[in-house]
Structure formats: structure tokens, C-alpha cells
Amino acid sequence: MPDTIFHRIMRRELPADIVYEDEHLIAFRDIAPQAPVHVLFVPKRDFATLNDVPEEEALVLGRLMTAAARYAKAQGFAESGYRLVMNCNADAGQTVYQIHLHLLAGAPLGRFGT
């Protein structure tokens, strides 16, 4: 059984501030927020990195994005804006090897890069 921190949160073995859950995914606040709103959207299907998601599983990614967009809209960020980020492997800073989509919102966000 895959056993990242996020799997333990899904199994309710670790506490988290869960803001949304359905049969496909869970969303909870990042423990070290990088913006006023920083929520992680995590699928219940197991994929360590984006590299591991085959074309036929693209719906897993689509659901993460549409759930994040719905949440951002519900929180009032549809017009002011928000950012979705998925880090893949070391150079991008991935630290938890269960794919997850970061939603950042609530303030103007700096440009990103190196």
C-alpha cells in the first residue's frame, strides 16, 4: 500500500484541515501555506508523479483541476485569480510522491521560475 503523508491524511491517520472530499479526490490546506489560500488537491488513485499518469487516466488530472477551479470560484477568486501548480520530481521541488495539485490564491502572486 502506498504510504505517503497524503495517504495517511486520506486514511485519517494524520490530521488535516480538509476542505473538500468526494469518491475521487480529497482537498486540504497546505501545512506551510505559500499564499493566503493554499489548498492541495490529491486524487485517490495512486500516482507518484505526473510521469506515471497514462493517457487513459487523464480524467484523474481533469478532476483535480475542475475541483480546484470550483473551490476557487466558491471562495470568490474566480475574477481576482488563482494559480494551479503540480511539481514533478526533484528540480521542481516535489517532496510528496503522490500527485497533488496546489491551489494558490488570495493575493497577487509573484512570477515564478528559477
Binding site for ligand 5GP (CB under 6 A): 5, 14, 16, 28-32, 40, 87, 93-96
Return the number of the residue (56 or 106) whose C-beta is nearest ligand 5GP. Answer: 106
Return the number of the residue (5 or 61) whose C-beta is nearest ligand 5GP. Answer: 5
The candidate with the shortest Cα–Cα distance to 34, out of 111, 105, 113, is: 105
Return the number of the residue (14 or 78) whose C-beta is nearest ligand 5GP. Answer: 14
Active-site residue list: 100
Tell me if 90 sits within 8 A of 71, measured CB to CB: no
The candidate with the shortest Cα–Cα distance to 78, out of 86, 69, 89, is: 69
Spatial distance between the Cα atoms of 6 and 63, rounded to a whole number of angstroms: 17
Question: Which phi-psi region, left, alpha or beta, contains residue 15 (left: φ > 0; alpha: ψ -120 to 50)?
Answer: beta
CB of 79 to ligand 5GP, least distance (A): 26
CB of 102 to ligand 5GP, least distance (A): 6
